[in-house]
Amino acid sequence: NSKVIQTPRYLVKGQGQKAKMRCIPEKGHPVVFWYQQNKNNEFKFLINFQNQEVLQQIDMTEKRFSAECPSNSPCSLEIQSSEAGDSALYLCASSLSVERLFFGHGTKLSVL
């Protein structure tokens, strides 16, 4: 069983509101990923970190999305001004190496 902990499981926001979700990666895993999974099960990579530093991110993340992975604190993903199109399952994953990702259960965001 994965030990990647994501909170909250469900998040409901109005349009324009901030939405923040957290992730505690598996202990000892230096790499953390955030993915957005839409209702068609399609994955969109958002950002990843290695030892608190950003490795890769997409343009969308740079505009309304912000993320951080401070040492000794949960990682977080925040949407500054939620839009209906942001409704999705946000998955956090951590990794010790390139050989495998360990996923959390996700945060299901609904933007009304």
Partner 1 sequence: AQSVTQPDARVTVSEGASLQLRCKYSYSGTPYLFWYVQYPRQGLQLLLKYYSGDPVVQGVNGFEAEFIKSNSSFHLRKASVHWSDSAVYFCAVSAAGNYKYVFGAGTRLKVIA
Token output for 3: 């030990």
Q: How many residues sit in the footprint of partner 1 (CB under 8 A)?
A: 26
Q: Which of 19, 69, 91, 111 binds partner 1 (CB under 8 A)?
A: 91
Q: Rounded CA gap, 96 and 12, in Å?
A: 32
Q: Which stretch binds partner 1 (CB under 8 A): 12-20, 44-52, 57-65, 73-81?
A: 44-52
> Of 31 and 75, which has the nearer Cβ to partner 1?
31
Residue 87: name the closest of 58, 71, 110 by CA. 110
Q: To which residue do tokens 């505690």 refer? A: 24
Around Cβ 91, how many Cβ atoms within 10 Å?
21
**What's the CA angle centered on 90, arms 49 and 46, to 5 degrees?**
40
Q: Which stretch binds partner 1 (CB under 8 A): 14-22, 62-70, 75-83, 103-111?
A: 103-111
> Of 45 and 52, which has the nearer Cβ to partner 1?
45
Residue 22: name the closest of 11, 14, 37 by CA. 11
Q: Which of 93, 109, 110, 112 binds partner 1 (CB under 8 A)?
A: 93
Chain residues in the site for partner 1 (CB under 8 A): 2, 4, 6, 31, 33, 35, 40-43, 45, 48, 50, 55-56, 91, 93, 95, 98-101, 103-106
